[in-house]
Amino acid sequence: MTGAPDAAHGAVDATTAWERLLSIRTADRAVASGLVPDGAGGARWAGAATPEAVWLAERYLPLCLAGPRVAFGQLGQSLDGFIATRTGDADYVTGEEDRRHLHRLRALADAVLVGAGTAVADDPRLTVRACAGRDPVRVVLDPRGRVPRHRQVFTDGAAPTLWVVGPDAATDGVGDGVEVLALPDTAAFAPQRLLAALAARGLGRVLIEGGGVTVSRFLRARALDRLYVTVAPVLLGDGVPGLRFPGTPVMRDALRPPLRRALLGEDTLFELDLRTAAGS
Ligand SMILES: NC(=O)c1ccc[n+]([C@@H]2O[C@H](COP(=O)([O-])OP(=O)(O)OC[C@H]3O[C@@H](n4cnc5c(N)ncnc54)[C@H](OP(=O)(O)O)[C@@H]3O)[C@@H](O)[C@H]2O)c1
């Protein structure tokens, strides 16, 4: 996605498009950045643009404009609905283009939140490396304080980390750059309350990155505005489940939120708009 030749000819290329999108949070700013309403609820570049630049604006402008408070989840799953093998191996379920997409979601977030299971199994860095952009604050939900102190989010100093624990967790031995947020009780871990606590710290745009238990809890609590699910053409048979919530007995009552689809290499991205379901 380098587009220097196109840039030389005046067309907005992918690099320029992404840099501009990173700074857009209001409709006025979108216009100032060269985007104009397309008459169908979206926007297009006012001047010439490469196909990649057009795709980036189509895909991410709605998220750029969704704040100042927005919670968006993501999962990469197999065709049969698993986000990792039964041993917890998620390296990688989806392909390279979805990894770039995930890093773009991080770059558009103030905070990226994972459950303790993911911090234990994956030892993720949660930084932005596959595209340009700032690293979000890393948030680890760990009510029992079970995530080992040597995990990279606690030791690498690459970005601030907020370790959210319950009242009985031992939190000694973490390094600089790690802030402990000790919540008083289980009720304080309710997704809406967690999001309010993050917003009070200036972290209004939150990516719920995984795993399945965590994203499902936010979904069930109607705390997600958007959900990005990437489906890879692979069958795992069993493994770590993705979304789980109390279902409906009949198909006509199933959750069918408005969605957009996109191809990411061999994978398919589903972008669900949950705002109606969330009542926000
Ligand atoms: N493919 C993907 O997109 C993707 C993304 C991320 C992770 N993964 C994979 O998913 C697996 C881990 O997922 P998982 O579903 O088992 O676990 P998880 O969602 O990462 O972590 C779940 C745990 O986090 C804590 N937690 C989460 N939300 C909470 C809340 N609102 N209140 C209190 N505690 C909360 C709880 O810890 P306690 O159990 O201590 O109470 C809970 O059991 C790993 O294998 C990882 O590789 C895949």
Write the pLDDT tens digit of every residue in 159-216.
Answer: 999 999 999 999 988 888 899 999 999 999 999 999 999 999 999 999 999 999 999 9
Nearest protein CA to atom 7 of ligand 1, as residue: 211
Nearest protein CA to atom 33 of ligand 1, as residue: 189
Average pLDDT over residues 141-147: 97
Nearest protein CA to atom 41 of ligand 1, as residue: 143
Q: Is the pLDDT of residue 232 over 70?
A: yes
Q: Same domain, yes or no, for 60 and 133?
A: no
Q: What is the pLDDT of residue 67?
A: 87
Count of domains forming the chain: 2
Q: Which of 75, 98, 208, 214 to mutate to test the pocket of ligand 1 (most atoms within 8 A of CB)?
A: 214
Q: Which of 138, 142, 240, 243 to mutate to test the pocket of ligand 1 (most atoms within 8 A of CB)?
A: 240
**76: CA distance to ligand 1 center in Å?**
14
Q: Same domain, yes or no, for 225 and 114?
A: yes
Collapsing DSSP to helix, strand or coil, 234 comes out as: coil
Average pLDDT over residues 129-148: 98
More confident residue, 112 or 10: 112
Q: Is the pLDDT of residue 2 over 50?
A: no
Ligand 1 atom at shortest distance from the alpha carbon of 94:
1
Q: Is the pLDDT of residue 280 over 50?
A: no
The domain boundary, picked from 47, 64, 81, lies at 64
Q: Same domain, yes or no, for 76 and 35?
A: no
Q: What is the pLDDT of residue 133?
A: 98
Q: Same domain, yes or no, for 258 and 197?
A: yes
Write the pLDDT tens digit of every residue in 257-274.
Answer: 999 999 999 999 999 999
**147: CA distance to ligand 1 center in Å?**
11
Q: What is the pLDDT of residue 279?
A: 39
Q: Return all residues near 235 (Cβ < 8 A) that are at least 6 apart.
A: 78, 79, 80
Instruction: Output the average pLDDT for the chain.
Output: 94
Q: Is the pLDDT of residue 85 over 90?
A: yes
Q: What is the pLDDT of residue 278?
A: 42
**Are residues 70 and 195 in contact, defined by beta-carbon separation less than 8 angstroms?**
no
Write the pLDDT tens digit of every residue in 20-72.
Answer: 999 999 999 999 999 998 888 789 999 999 999 999 999 999 999 998 999 99
Q: Same domain, yes or no, for 84 and 28?
A: no
**242: CA distance to ligand 1 center in Å?**
10
Q: What is the CATH number of the domain that holds 222?
A: 3.40.430.10
Ligand 1 atom at shortest distance from the alpha carbon of 214:
19
Collapsing DSSP to helix, strand or coil, 275 comes out as: helix
The percent helix, strand, coil of the chain (3-state, each to 5) is: 30, 25, 45
Ligand 1 atom at shortest distance from the alpha carbon of 210:
6
Ligand 1 atom at shortest distance from the alpha carbon of 122:
47
Q: Which residues constitute the domain of residue 53?
A: 4-64
Q: Which of 213, 245, 264 to mutate to test the pocket of ligand 1 (most atoms within 8 A of CB)?
A: 213
Average pLDDT over residues 92-102: 97
Q: Same domain, yes or no, for 23 and 60?
A: yes
Collapsing DSSP to helix, strand or coil, 45 comes out as: strand
- The ligand 1 site (C-beta within 6 Å) comprises 75-76, 83-84, 88, 90, 93, 114-118, 121-122, 141, 143-144, 146, 189, 191, 209-214, 217, 240
pLDDT band at 9 (very low <50, low <70, confident <90, very high): low
Q: What is the pLDDT of residue 189?
A: 98
Q: What is the dihedral of CA 58, 64, 65, 70, to 10 degrees?
A: 120
pLDDT band at 8 (very low <50, low <70, confident <90, very high): low
The domain boundary, picked from 64, 88, 106, lies at 64
Model pTM above 0.75: yes
